[in-house]
Amino acid sequence: MTLKDTDARAVAERGTPLIVWREDWNLGIPGMDRDHRILVSLINQIPLAFGGAEERVIVTSVLNGLWDYTDFHFAREEAVLAAAGYVHGADHAARHEDLKVQVLAYVEGYAKDPDAVDVGDLLAFMERWLIDHILVEDMRYVDAVRLSPGAENAADHVQLVDDGTVEDFFSQLDA
């Protein structure tokens, strides 16, 4: 992964976050807002991971953490939407799948050849994805969730299991 022709090095050198959370990005759904803040924090670690002998290990760790948490967050969000009976839930889940494919391409691309992945492109994608997804797509479901008592709690039943996969807690009870 190279830093040439990008502003990622400047971000890392300044030590300032790439994305600064703004309160108007809150959905008013505490679990989802917390997840979004964690995703911002993970994205902000990317430029800070560069430089030094351990760069590849740190960048790989950050990208893998971002992948795992993205998968976990999307599963939680989809559980909330299902519990709320959100009519566009399938479309929202399809958009999640598209985003996961793109994130995974960066993770796998870096694993195969770190120098072939442009960090500027990665950071621009992450910033655009997170902000556009929250401010546009996620804001669309807020009313449906607020009008459905208990829907917010559905996220609490989704967990990351030992093998790195995500599943609904209640599905374990049925086994």
Spans of all domains in the chain:
8-174
Is the pLDDT score of 24 beyond 50?
yes
Q: Is the pLDDT of residue 5 over 80?
A: no
Structural tokens at position 100? 């996961």
CA distance 74 to 96: 7
Cβ contacts of 108 within 8 Å, gap of 6 or more? none
- Whether the per-residue pLDDT at 67 is higher than 70: the answer is yes
pLDDT at 12: 57
- Rounded CA-CA distance 124/6 in Å is 10
Q: Write down the mean pLDDT value for the chain.
A: 81
**Which CATH topology does 8-174 take?**
Four Helix Bundle (Hemerythrin (Met), subunit A) (1.20.120)
Number of other residues whose CB lies within 10 A of the CB of residue 5: 10
User: Would you call 86 exposed, middle or buried from its count of C-beta atoms within 10 A (0-12, 13-18, 19+)?
Assistant: buried
Question: What's residue 173's pLDDT?
Answer: 38
Contact 31, 155 (CB under 8 A): yes
> How confident is the model at residue 8, as a pLDDT?
54
Task: State the pLDDT at residue 74.
Answer: 92
- How far, rounded to the nearest angstrom, does the alpha carbon of residue 100 sit from its chain's CA centroid? 9
- Report helix, strand or coil for 86: coil
